[in-house]
Structure 1
């Protein structure tokens, strides 16, 4: 890590290029401004230092460790503990500096490295996980999904999908609203817990139930749109008596003509659906509904109907 990464995207830019032109310009409906603009990919679905590491008190770290422990099982406890140690290391070192536990001769060097750690560490991990989705971006036919026959490729793809689902601004806002004022679960825990939740979801997909991948081919003249919540759970509204989501069925538009649906297996690992305008619009309406600040399309004209719904 040699340079601070200021603009940190919560939607993968490589993914959004499927809707942009050769100059990385993408038609965007900016919901909070109620306007349509053609914007550079660097300027959408991003926030300065979005993944910056937080400082915690000792008590907050103990509480966070307990939350992570409660979310762990035999499969995940080691990796969850590693997440905890890694992403609280910045806070521990900052506290050591404040308590004069670091030799003065080392302070300048350590503080420079800490500044980079704060801004870049978690962002770098997300970049690594994004690379797991590269093969998905290249699929054009259902046969192209067969790379998932390889166990390692399947695992990396599931991890990629779960992280792209959880990492977004919408998910952060939902988390913050749910736990605002909570005595134990603090909003500033979100980014660390997003790693825990995404990994737990991937573990559930991979180890407890077989996964089905459905190639969805859009044969209509209406494009798929996408948003700053590019992966949606089609079963998000199905909840138990405590309000917890009870199942997962991911829908992920890969480009204007191809989408992927991922859910628990019904006996076949792969499926192929060809859908017409009615179904495309149904999925697009869900994408619009579940978006936070941005809707993206291949052309500005398609965004007009969604602007009228704001």
Structure 2
């Protein structure tokens, strides 16, 4: 058997399979929409994933400059954290260059370097998942007091930050802005391409910033656990953390301000968590109506890129028509610029 250090993780999930399994009746399979609009039942490990999605690539001095420039917009302690993560990737890159420049050829060394490329960022995401697992499990069972214990809230919002920024939908929103950058001149176009090249790192850096912002504003935000005992269970999607602030207009493509962020995260068919700037719900546990469940499900479906996930076929079929709505609005808006 190949050593663990030589095993490359190629199947990268941008939505945690353990999380998706809450919509499964056997712990393995869920009903979901496909890229062609069909509804099928398949393994949680077969959706919201892409081979080598987080694989690290060669960082040139220009890539490093862009990363550090974006990092400089963060608080000082986050800049230090970004620098520490970046140095780990650059160290592996240095080893890879040294190996390639040498006359030595060793299969195990090549496997180890390839595994590092494939695994380093995936392992960071797995670390956040592991740290948040106990919290998510408790919240899904209705226990909001778990967030009062130790570093649980910090770990949970760190996970939420990554779950917002690590998805394929989030990546493609940036990729779709290429025509806008091209109209700003060759320098702007080059910046766009450099960011896209190292999105695997920048998206993580953005997630760290989002998580920290949620933690820093914890005393002023409304944290609420929504309990859904209606016949309309919550669904989820390949973009499971969304902004549902009531002041946001569906047809507009405007970055939300700090005051217009109500983050909704379904935990299971019967529970969801929200971190709100609005007074949509009160602090703590809230029992919701079926109207609210339907409203949140519709918004989750509209924000989905490909996959809407539900406990049964009927639950998915109800919202299939909404999948891709947000992407279409963004594409239409960018096409008019």
Q: Using structure 2 for the length normalisation, give the TM-score.
A: 0.81
1:206-263 Cα offsets, whole Å, 9 max, x none, are 235524320101121111110011111224947xxx9433133210111101111113
Corresponding position of 2:327: none
Residues 1:228 and 2:244 aligned together: no
Query: 2:169 and 2:114 mapped to 1: Cα distance?
Result: 27
Counterpart in the other structure of 2:167: 168
1:197 alignment partner, one of 170, 194, 206: 206
| Structure 1 position 15 matched with structure 2 position 19 | yes
What's the CA shift string for 1:85-131, capped at 9, x where partnerless? 22344444444445x2xx43476554332101111111111111001
Segment drifting more, 250-259 vs 171-180: 171-180
Which secondary structure state, in structure 1, belongs to the residue aligned with residue 295 of structure 2? helix
Matches of 2:227 and 2:27, distance apart in 1: 27
Contact 1:8–1:46 (CA under 8 A) maintained in structure 2: yes
Q: 1:256 & 1:47 partners in 2: Cα distance?
A: 25
Specify which of 294, 298, 316 is matched with residue 281 of structure 1. Answer: 294
Question: 1:1-310 counterparts in 2 under 5 A?
Answer: 1-22=5-26, 24-30=28-34, 32-69=35-72, 71-97=73-99, 100=101, 103-105=102-104, 110-134=109-133, 135-140=135-140, 142=142, 144-179=143-178, 182-185=189-192, 186-210=195-219, 211-235=221-245, 237=248, 243-247=254-258, 248-264=261-277, 270-309=283-322
- SS of the residue corresponding to residue 76 of structure 1 reads helix
Give the paired residue count: 302
CA distance in structure 2 between the aligned counterparts of 1:141 and 1:118, rounded to whole angstroms: 37
d(CA) in 2 for partners of 1:270, 1:243: 28
CA distance 1:231–1:140, change in 2 (3 Å): closer
Are residues 263 and 86 of structure 1, via their aligned partners in 2, closer, same or farther at CA, if it must alter by over 3 Å? farther
CA distance in 2 between counterparts of 1:110 and 1:65 reads: 30
Equivalent pair of 2:6/2:108 in contact (CA under 8 Å)? no
C-alpha deviations, 1:65-98, integer Å up to 9, x for none?
22222x2222312101112222344444444445
Query: Any unmatched runs of 5+ in structure 2?
Result: 183-188, 324-337
Q: 1:94 to 1:179 in 2, by over 3 A?
A: farther
Structure 1 pair 179–76 and aligned structure 2 pair: CA distance change class (3 A): farther
Conserved? CA contact 2:31–2:42, under 8 Å? yes
* Conserved? CA contact 2:232–2:293, under 8 Å: yes
Q: Which structure 1 residue ranges, 5 or more long, are not aligned?
A: none
Provide the C-alpha distance between the structure 2 equivalents of 1:289 and 1:198, rounded to a whole number of angstroms. 22
